[in-house]
Structure 1
Amino acid sequence: MNTKITTYSLEHHKSLFNDVNNDKEYFYIQAKDHPYISEPYRAESYAIEFLRKGSIVMQTKLKKVVIHAPAILTLGPSVIRSFTKDSDEILIDIIFFKPQFFLHNQANVFFLSHYDFFENSEKHVFNLQKKNKIKFEQIFTLLRQSIEHNSDNQPSILRAYLYILIYELDVIKQTNTNDTTQNPLFEKFKETLSRDFISQRSVQYYADTLNVSRKYLSEVIKNNSGKTASDWIDDIVILESKILLQNKELTINQISDSLNFPNQSGFGRFFKKCEGISPLEYRRKKV
C-alpha cells in the first residue's frame, strides 16, 4: 500500500512564524520564540537552524537531547522530529529550503544525501566553539541581509550561502573526535531497526542479522541506552504509528496494515499497552 504520511509543508512552517505571504521555495526567520511542537512530525523542506541564545529540547526519531546555545541544528525532510521548551528566552535563526530549490542547476541530484548530518539522529547537533560561533554569526548575518534586500540574484546568493553552511558543517564533523561514539553493535542495531522495523519485530531477528547471540545483543543495548531491545522496537513502532495517525485520510485499519499488524485489534492492543489509550483516542486528542 502506498501510505501517505502527513508532513509539514513549507507553507505551514511559514504560518507558524506568521509569514504567509512568501511564495518562495525557501524561508528565513530570526525568532525570539519557537513554535514548540511536541507531537512528532516530518517536513517537506530541509532546515538549518542557528541557536544563538537559550536552550531547546529536540527529539529526532528516538533520540532526545537538550541543545544549548551556541549550536547548529540540521534536519532533512524524512526526519521525525518534535520540540519542547527548555528556557524562557531563546534567539534562533532558521533557514528552510525545499530540495528542488537547492538543487537548481546542481548536476548531482544526490548532493544533499551525501551529508548524513541531515538524516542521522546522532549527528543533527553541532555545538559551537568560540571561533566557529563567530564564523556562523557572520554567515547567518550575511544570509539575513540577502533576504532583507530583495534582488533578482537573491536565490543564487542564498544557494551560495547554503553551500558554505553545508561545507563548514562538514569540516566540523570531520574534525570532531569520536569520543561520543556509541558501541558499534548498538549503532548497527539502530541502523538495522530503522530499516526493518515494519516487517521484523523480534529481538532474535536483529541478533541473527548482526551475527551475535540474543543475550549479548540485549546486554549491549541495555548497557548503552538503559532500555531493552524490545523497548527500542516498541518505541519506533509507536513513533511511526503517531505519525500515521496524524493523517486523517488514513483509517485505523489502513494504518494497522501498513505497520504489518495481523489485524486492527492487534494494533489497538499494542498501542494501548504502550500509550494507555487507543489509536482512535489518540487521534481525537492530538489531531
Structure 2
Amino acid sequence: MRTILNFDTIHEYNTFLGIETFHPLISSIDFSKVGKEFKHVRKRYGFYFIFLKQVQCGDLIYGRHQYDYQEGTLVFIGPGQVAGKDDTGEVFRMQGWGLCFHPDLLRGTALGQKIKDYSFFSYQSNESLHMSEREKQTIIHCFQEIKGELEHSIDKHSKSIIVANLEVMLNHCLRFYDRQFITREDVNKGILFRFEEEINLYFDSNKTQTIGLPSVQYFADRVRLSANYFGDLIKKETGKTAQEYVQLKIIDRAKDLLYSPDKSINEIAYALGFKYPHHFSRMFKKVVGISPTEYRAAN
C-alpha cells in the first residue's frame, strides 16, 4: 500500500522536518538549514504550501500526474491536496524554500476574502511557475522577509505585517504567471485552436444529447489542463472567461438553429443540451439582448 503522511497543522510539518515552530499558522522554511535526511513519501497538506525547488530532484507525483522538476520551479499546493512521490529507497536532503500557511491565518483579513482569486493553488503540478533568475531572487526575498518577521517575538502587529508580506509574495506570483502566459504565447494559441476544435466537435457529434451543455471542465480535460489554469489561459488570450467563451459558442449555434423554421424554441433548447427551455431563453436574452423568439422574428 502507498503511504501518505497527513499534516493538518504547521507544527506537525515543522516537527517532521525537525525545525522550530515560531508561529502556529505560518512557517517560512529554508530547507538548506534542515539537517535531516529523508526518504520519498506522499504527503497530504491541510494548509497552503508554496514550494521553491532549487535543485533537480526527479519526478514529483501530484494528484495523478507526474512532473519533472526544473531548477527554480515554484509549486503551489492548496489545503487537502496530496503531493510527493512513493518511497524508492533513495535518501536525500531538501534544498530550496517552503512557505506553509494555514487558512486560519487569513480569517478576518482582506487577503482571506481574495485568497480564492489566486487560482494557481488549484493548478496541476505541470502548470507550475518557471521563473527567471531575477524573479527567483524576488521570491526568495519574500521568503526571507516572512522568516525574519516570524523570528521576532509575536506582538499585536505581527499578524498584519506577516499577512501583508504574504500578499506581496502572492501578487508577485500573479505577475510572474502573467509573464509566463505571455512568453508561452505560441503554445497558448495552439491550446486555443484545440479548444475551438473541441467545441465544434462537441456539437457536431451530438454530445449535447448524451452529456448535456458543454462545461469548462470538459474542455480543460480534453487539452490536459486543470480547469483553473485553462480558464486563466483563455482569459489572457481572449479577454473572456472560458465560461463566457463557451456561452458565446452556444449562442452562435442557437442563432444558426433559429433560422430553421421547423424547430421550436423548446426543441432548439434541448438540442443544445439545456434541460429546461427557459434556461436557454434566459441565457440567450442575457447575451444577445432579446429573446430567441424576438431574434427569430427579426431575422
Q: Structure 2 length as normaliser, TM-score?
A: 0.53
User: 1:221-269 CA distances to partner (integer Å, 9 max, x unpaired)?
Assistant: 6x979xxxxxxxxxxxxxxxxxxxxxxxxxxxxxxxxxxxxxxxxxxxx
Pairing of 1:158-177 with structure 2 (within 5 A): 158-175=162-179, 176=181, 177=184
- Take 1:59 and 1:35, find their aligned partners in 2: how far apart are those partners? 20
Q: Which residue of 2 aligns with 1:129?
A: 132
After superposition, residues 235-274 of structure 1 pair within 5 angstroms as: none
User: Alignment partner of 1:91: what SS?
Assistant: coil
Would the aligned equivalents of 1:54 and 1:90 in 2 still touch at CA under 8 Å? Answer: no
Please state if 1:60 is matched with 2:59: no
AA aligned to 2:123 is N
* Shift in alpha-carbon separation, 1:127–1:15, aligned structure 2, 3 A: same
**Aligned mate of 2:110, from 106, 112, 130:** 106
- Separation (CA, whole Å) in 1 of partners of 2:195 and 2:80: 24
1:92-241, aligned counterparts within 5 Å?
A: 92-106=96-110, 109=113, 111-121=114-124, 125-152=128-155, 153-175=157-179, 176=181, 177-178=184-185, 179=187, 181=191, 183-184=194-195, 208-209=210-211
Conserved in 2, the CA contact under 8 Å of 1:45 and 1:77? yes
Question: Any idea what the Cα deviations from partners look like across 1:121-168, whole Å, max 9, x if unmatched?
Answer: 156521111221221222222222222233413322221111011111
How many residues were matched structurally?
A: 198
Q: Equivalents in 2 of 1:119, 1:135: separation in Å?
A: 23
Which of residues 44, 47, 61 in structure 1 aligns to 2:46? 44
Q: Which has the higher helix share?
A: 2
Deviation at 1:108, TM superposition (A): 5.7
TM-score (norm 1): 0.55
When residues 123 and 224 of structure 1 are mapped into structure 2, their CA distance, relative to the original with a 3 A threshold, is closer
Give the match for residue 27 of structure 1.
Answer: 27
- Closer/same/farther in 2, CA of residues 28 and 224 from structure 1, 3 Å limit: closer
- Structure with the greater alpha carbon radius of gyration: 2
Alignment of 1:63-74 (within 5 A): 63-74=65-76
Task: Give the 3 Å change call, closer, same or farther, for CA 31–40 of structure 1 in structure 2.
Answer: closer
Tell whether the 8 Å contact from 1:118 to 1:124 is kept in structure 2 after alignment: no
- Provide the rounded CA distance (Å) in 1 between the counterparts of 2:84 and 2:142: 26
Secondary structure at 2:170's aligned position in 1? helix
C-alpha distance in 2 between matches for 1:167 and 1:145: 20
Matched residue, 1:255: none
Task: Kindly report the root-mean-square deviation, in angstroms, between the aligned alpha carbons of the 2 structures.
Answer: 4.2
In structure 2, the gaps of 5 or more residues are 200-206, 226-299
The letter for the 2-side match of 1:150 is: S
CA contact (8 A) 1:75 1:124 kept: no
Cα drift, residue 104 of structure 1: 3.4
Distance change in 2, residues 1:157/1:57 (3 Å): farther
